[in-house]
Every structure is written in structure tokens, then in C-alpha cells.
Structure 1
Amino acid sequence: MMNIVLGVTGSIAAYKAADITSSLTKRGHNIDVILTENGSKIITPITLQTLSKNKVYMDMFEEITPKEVKHISLAEKADIVLIAPATANIIGKIAGGIADDFLSTVVMAAAPHTPVYIAPAMNTNMYENPIVQDNIDRLKRFGYHFIEPKESMLACGVLGKGALADVDDIVRIIEGSIK
């Protein structure tokens, strides 16, 4: 059993986080979900909480306990961090060392001690933007792992690369990453 922190961002593919959570939970893994504010506009915390059987974290300052700093304790507990779907925004934040929300602070506290897997999902033009590609290359140099998006008909009606990888592929990669 792995302790997996799943970050869910504001891509339209956020609804697929339910399938990722369900699949990994059914395989016996513990999933702690961090849902960004924008992600919560697409999928509700209650859905992910029900499927993970754990509290869904959104607000870094919601629960302040003197004996635990939650973004640090989640990072230390995690065997792996998975961001699926990952927007250009979160990729840029991480590449720039910005830690201004719950997810980005957990990632900063986890890496490089804990493997971080990022599964981008965005419009083709956004994905192919040289700034986004530079951020991806930068993160790869720092040891972050990427689960490549697939080519598909995107939500915006464009056929191109940028769709979230298949849930089964994401689960297989994550399960195969811990030896």
C-alpha cells in the first residue's frame, strides 16, 4: 500500500480525478486529495472525499494545529505525489518555486525526497506554448516525472495533444513507480 497525495487542479479533466481516486483506493492505496480552488469549480470535494475515504484539503489555513503543520506532514507521509490533471498554472508555479496554495506548498515540501508525477491536461496551444514546454523541461531536469498527455478531441473542440492520459495508464505508471 502506498500513501499517495493526489493534487487536482482546474483543468476540465478534473472530473477524471474521481476515477483515479477510485481506482487507486480500490487497489488498497491511501489517497489524500488536495483540491485547488479552481479544481473545486469542476469537481466537488465531497466526491473525492467519498471515493478516497479521507478529508479533501483545499485551504492551507483551515485547520491550524500546534503539533502539526499539515502541508509538511502530508509531504512527509507521501510515498508519491501525483498531480492529475495539472494545468499550465501549477506547472509554472512549481517551475518558478512559487508555493502560495496548499498544493504548491506540499509539492515544495515533498520534492526532491518524494517522487512527484505530473499529468498535464490543457488545450494544445497552451501545452505547446514555449513557456509551458520550458517549465516542463526545467522540472524534468530537477527530477520531476511527467505522464504525457494524449492527442484527442479536446473539450474546446480542437483535435490535438493536451488531453489527460488515460486513467488506466496513470494508475499503472503510479503503481509501477514504487519498487
Structure 2
Amino acid sequence: MTKRILLAISGSIAAYKAADLTSQLTKRGYDVHVLMTEAAAKFITPLTLQVLSKNPVHLDVMEEKIAERINHIDLGKEADLFILAPASANTIATLAHGGADNMVTATALALPADLPKLIAPAMNTKMYDNPLTQRNIAILKEVGYKEITPKSALLACGDVGRGALADLDTILQIINENI
């Protein structure tokens, strides 16, 4: 049976890497369903991810195309794994405090407790190292999320340090270990 992955993408410059992740997961035989925040859609188009995943992309929590279905609830019921990659500081904070103001956070809040959940942070070093972000990541870990630690690199802003999205091979390996 094909494993279903919910790939949630939040607003980070690293969102463009989600196209390669989607492609690699699909090529490995996973059924990939993409969720995006509106900020993520500013970095990469839903159409790109739809073509690569061969599934509709879910962007608007209020858009219900099938009357009998509540997307942000049903998607989680049908999933074998949830991954937020890249995970922005904003989305991590919203999740850690139970917010559900977009498709990604509403779906994440409605996930079954026993579903494997991964977050792959990607942000500026100072944002990642900020005690508030670290506290929010700790809260998510307490409720069952596993962090795919960001790497140190030259960041898009020109700073050098921890905060770059983990390498694709690392993310794929951790997905395989958790599904």
C-alpha cells in the first residue's frame, strides 16, 4: 500500500527546495499531498508542487471543493506522516501555541496524536537561536514532533550560521525512518 505524506510548506526562502523534496518523494513511490501557507505561495507556486506531486495543492483552509469533506480534518486522517519543511519561525510559533489560522496550522492541529510529525526549520540564525523559537520547538517536541535540525551555512540574508534547511538527503532519510 502506498504511503501518504502530508508535506506542509511555510513562508521561508527555502520553500523553493520543497519542489525537489516533492519530486524525490513522488519518485520514491510516496503519495504526496502538499499544504501551503499563503506566505509559502509567495516563494513557490502551488502549480509547480501540483505538477510534481500529481495531487491538488491545499492553500486555503476555507476552500472545500467536496461538500462531504473537511480538508484540514480528512487530510490528517488519511496520512501516514506529516512534515513541515521548511518550517518558518512564525509557523512554528503558531503551531506551538495551538493556532489554526491557515491550511498548514489548521491541518497540523487536527492530526491524529499517533501520526509521525516532523519539522524542518529554516530561518535566519538569530531567529532560530532566539530563546522564544527554541522554546516553541521544545513545546512541539513535547507533543510528539521530531525536529530535523537545520544546518550551518551561508544564509540568503548573507549571515553565516545555523538555520539553513537540512540537506535533502537527510530529510529523506528521516522521513524513511519515521514512516
Task: Give the TM-score normalised by structure 2.
Answer: 0.97
Structure 2 residue identity aligned to 1:133:
Q
The question of whether the paired residues in 1 share the 8 Å contact of 2:77 and 2:112 is answered with no
Secondary structure class of the residue paired with 2:108 = helix
| 1:148 aligns to 2:139 (yes or no) | no
Superposition misfits of 4+ residues, deviation over 2 angstroms:
63-66
The question of whether the paired residues in 1 share the 8 Å contact of 2:4 and 2:79 is answered with yes
Q: What is the aligned partner in structure 1 of residue 133 from structure 2?
A: 132
Structure 2 residue identity aligned to 1:8:
I
Q: What is the aligned partner in structure 2 of residue 61 from structure 1?
A: 62
The question of whether the paired residues in 1 share the 8 Å contact of 2:153 and 2:163 is answered with yes
Q: What is the aligned partner in structure 2 of residue 3 from structure 1?
A: 4
Q: What's the C-alpha RMSD, in Å, of the aligned pairs?
A: 0.9
Structure 1 residue identity aligned to 2:146:
H
Deviation, 1:65, is 3.1
Q: What is the aligned partner in structure 1 of residue 158 from structure 2?
A: 157
Deviation, 1:16, is 0.2
The question of whether the paired residues in 1 share the 8 Å contact of 2:150 and 2:166 is answered with yes
Within a 5 Å distance, the mapping from 1:42-121 to structure 2 comes to 42-121=43-122
Structure 1 residue identity aligned to 2:128:
Y
Q: Distance in 2 between matches of 1:171 and 1:17?
A: 12
Structure 2 residue identity aligned to 1:155:
A
Q: CA separation of 1:162/1:111 partners in 2, compared to 1, >3 Å: closer, same or farther? A: farther
Unaligned runs of 5+ in 2: none
Secondary structure class of the residue paired with 1:16 = helix
Structure 2 residue identity aligned to 1:117:
L
Deviations 1:117-142 (A, max 9, x none): 00000000000000000011111111
Q: Distance in 2 between matches of 1:117 and 1:140?
A: 9
Q: What is the aligned partner in structure 2 of residue 28 from structure 1?
A: 29
Secondary structure class of the residue paired with 2:110 = helix
Counting aligned pairs with the same residue, the percent is 51
Unaligned runs of 5+ in 1: none
What is the number of residues matched between the two proteins? Answer: 178
Q: Distance in 2 between matches of 1:111 and 1:158?
A: 38
Secondary structure class of the residue paired with 2:144 = coil
Structure 2 residue identity aligned to 1:174:
I
Q: Distance in 2 between matches of 1:62 and 1:94?
A: 21
Deviation, 1:100, is 1.1
Deviations 1:86-125 (A, max 9, x none): 0001100111011111111110111423111000000000
Deviation, 1:176, is 1.4
Q: Distance in 2 between matches of 1:150 and 1:5?
A: 23
Q: Distance in 2 between matches of 1:112 and 1:93?
A: 18
